[in-house]
């Protein structure tokens, strides 16, 4: 944090107390209170940051529901940013499920009803032609990471329109808490192009424009203006695409990935986390990645993204591309994806194999006998008892990833996965589950959440000022993440490191990502002698700075 604040141009008095980036509340010293016109505006007792944390936690723990805790923490973030990040960073395992999945899902659904103060930039379809002006209203110019959504596919909850801002805000909070990205460099953006959600269209408290979604050429022109305006207003930021609908997500990534520094977390971040989980799972089940047969339930952004990265990893380890693709099979809402189907989108065709059509997931499991199943369909309960018992029937240690978010959308619970396989499943989920005791042994479920990858990737890209973000970076991130899983973690059934280690893990991932950028000639900053040490030196630490 040192050096962030321009001490020659500080606001004073009430204005200072109302600036969340500068406000220290009761932690202002006697000298600061005199110098900055704060005398009398604060209670007389000076509190340390640790004492303020105690007060926050006492109030946090009194809240009766997770949504109330979310509202409380959101209020803290817009009142005292440094204190917010101190609490979240030090207690991430407790705070992450509140400020992000699963609670952020409910928060987005009710965003207009719990709305207090605006965060980020809202650009609606009515603002076409003046997006650069809107972005210029943001008070900070050194924006380096933008998380942008159009709200059409929020988590597994569908079209939430402008309410999707909750996800953009949450993701950027995790960039800071998990990877030490300075919050002053972060900007959440919601592109409000309307919504097709009937409930929102009829909700008098909805915060977005109440009209049907913009589609086709008009939508593309809107996105193009936004991307152009971003580059005009800010000095080449990283743009993370978040929760766009499948069709738009794939083509927007393809259109912009070589033009600007951008990635889609639902496609690439999810892939990195899932691949890391597979590497760790194979340390438990045995075997090589190239020998696995993986069956996906869901063929959207997450599923195809995971499949593509697994294929890249297999090719990197010696398989030909076609052979690698035959290791990945997909079932969508209409059944097994095979060549005889005539209803497939372009991004699914590479995984349409020669096989008889099968109408459902269970029949595909029984026919293909996969070593791993990965759920990314956002439909709860799809990994049924019959499916899991079948997996346990032909695998000693079946790999079961129920990755859909939030928790209510998971394909199965941790308890179901362990119970129905008699404790033999190697399990991971997208949102957290409590430990499960089966057959006298307690298992700690792995949380295959993107938080393990995207903050570290972003940190690495910023550290070297990479021009572009490549799939190779996510492959490097997956391998680095898997390497951070200890034998003790595996013994407990955990295939990801504890969230308490996430800042250390993110720094390691960032170093590997920067290494890829330097090796490929797409880094624009000089290469430091020790990349990891340099990255750690740049990480934001939420501590108060002296103003006098």
Known catalytic residues are 100, 171
SS3 state of residue 295: strand
Q: At what angle do helices 471-483 and 502-519 cross, to 10 degrees?
A: 140
C-alpha distances out from residue 17 to 24, 25, 33, Å: 8, 7, 11
Sign of the torsion angle spanned by Cα atoms 208, 226, 166, 412: positive
Query: What's the chain's Rg over C-alpha atoms?
Result: 24
Q: In what order do the strands lie in the sheet with 294-297?
A: 335-336, 328-332, 294-297, 372-375, 399-402, 426-429, 446-447
Q: Report the alpha-carbon distance of residue 162 to residue 324 in Å, rounded.
A: 40
Q: Report the alpha-carbon distance of residue 386 to residue 224 in Å, rounded.
A: 47
Q: DSSP letter at 525?
A: S
Q: Report the alpha-carbon distance of residue 114 to residue 528 in Å, rounded.
A: 46
Q: Are 458 and 242 in contact (CB under 8 A)?
A: no
Q: Report the alpha-carbon distance of residue 89 to residue 153 in Å, rounded.
A: 28
Nearest to 206 by CA among 285, 108, 100, 81: 108
β-sheet bridge partners, residue 353: 338
Please give the full DSSP string across 459-470, using - where no structure is assigned.
Answer: HHHHHHTBS---
Q: Report the alpha-carbon distance of residue 419 to residue 424 in Å, rounded.
A: 9
Q: Are 274 and 312 in contact (CB under 8 A)?
A: no
Host H or E run for residue 340: none
Q: Report the alpha-carbon distance of residue 325 to residue 301 in Å, rounded.
A: 17
Q: Report the alpha-carbon distance of residue 245 to residue 158 in Å, rounded.
A: 9
**Is the bond into 543 cis (omega within 30 degrees of 0)?**
no
Q: Are 72 and 63 in contact (CB under 8 A)?
A: yes
CA angle (488 as vertex; 485, 489 as ends), nearest 5: 45
Q: Report the alpha-carbon distance of residue 165 to residue 170 in Å, rounded.
A: 8
**Is the bond into 102 cis (omega within 30 degrees of 0)?**
yes
Give me the phi and psi of 169, to 5 degrees please.
-65, -45
Host H or E run for residue 524: none
β-sheet bridge partners, residue 154: 158
Host H or E run for residue 147: strand 145-149
Which parts of 353-486 are beta strand (E)? 372-375, 399-402, 426-429, 436-438, 441-443, 446-447
Host H or E run for residue 146: strand 145-149
């Amino acid at each position: 944090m040192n050096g962030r604040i321009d001490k020659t141009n500080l606001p004073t008095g009430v204005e200072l107390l109302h600036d969340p980036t500068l406000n220290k509340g009761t932690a202002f010293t006697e000298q600061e209170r005199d110098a900055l016109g704060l005398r009398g505006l604060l209670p007389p007792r000076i509190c340390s940051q640790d004492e303020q944390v105690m007060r926050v936690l006492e109030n946090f723990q009194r809240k009766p529901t997770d949504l109330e805790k979310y509202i409380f923490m959101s209020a803290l973030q817009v009142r005292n940013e440094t204190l917010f990040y101190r609490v979240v960073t030090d207690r991430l395992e407790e705070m992450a499920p509140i400020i992000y999945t699963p609670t952020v899902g409910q928060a987005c659904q009710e965003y207009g009803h719990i709305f207090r103060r605006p965060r980020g930039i809202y650009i609606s379809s009515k603002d076409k032609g003046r997006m650069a002006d809107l972005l210029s209203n943001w008070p900070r110019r050194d924006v380096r990471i933008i998380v942008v959504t159009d709200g059409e596919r929020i988590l597994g909850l569908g079209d939430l329109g402008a309410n999707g801002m909750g996800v953009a805000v949450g993701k950027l909070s995790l960039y800071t808490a998990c990877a030490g990205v300075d919050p002053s460099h972060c900007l959440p953006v919601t592109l409000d192009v309307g919504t097709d959600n009937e409930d929102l269209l009829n909700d008098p408290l909805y915060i977005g424009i109440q009209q049907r979604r913009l589609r086709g050429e008009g939508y593309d022109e809107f996105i193009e203006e936004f991307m152009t305006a971003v580059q005009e207003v800010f000095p080449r930021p990283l743009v993370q695409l978040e929760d766009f609908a499948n069709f738009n997500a794939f083509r927007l990534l393809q259109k912009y990935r070589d033009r600007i520094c951008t990635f889609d977390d639902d496609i690439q971040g999810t892939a990195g986390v899932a691949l890391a989980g597979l590497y760790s799972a194979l340390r438990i089940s045995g075997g090589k990645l190239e020998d696995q047969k993986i069956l996906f339930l869901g063929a959207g952004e997450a599923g195809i993204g995971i499949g593509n990265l697994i294929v890249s990893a297999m090719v990197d380890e010696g398989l030909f591309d076609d052979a690698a693709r035959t290791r990945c099979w997909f079932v969508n809402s209409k059944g097994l994806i095979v060549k005889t189907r005539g209803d497939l989108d372009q991004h699914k065709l590479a995984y349409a194999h020669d096989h008889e059509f099968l109408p459902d997931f269970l029949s595909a499991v029984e026919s293909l006998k996969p070593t791993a199943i990965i759920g990314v369909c956002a439909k709860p309960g799809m990994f049924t008892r019959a499916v899991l018992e079948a997996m346990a029937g032909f695998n000693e240690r079946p790999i079961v990833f129920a990755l859909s978010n939030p928790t209510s959308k998971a394909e199965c619970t941790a308890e179901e996965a362990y119970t129905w396989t008699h404790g033999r499943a190697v399990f991971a989920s997208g949102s957290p589950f409590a430990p499960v005791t089966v057959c006298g042994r307690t298992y700690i479920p792995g949380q295959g959440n993107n938080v393990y990858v995207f903050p570290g990737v972003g940190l690495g890209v910023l550290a070297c000022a990479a021009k572009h973000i490549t799939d190779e970076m996510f492959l490097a991130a997956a391998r680095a993440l898997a390497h951070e899983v200890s034998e003790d973690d595996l013994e407990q059934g955990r295939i990801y490191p504890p969230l308490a280690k996430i800042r250390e893990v993110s720094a390691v991932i960032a170093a590997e990502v920067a290494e890829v950028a330097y090796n490929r000639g797409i880094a624009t900053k000089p290469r430091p002698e020790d990349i990891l040490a340099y990255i750690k030196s740049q990480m934001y630490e939420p501590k108060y700075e002296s103003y006098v």
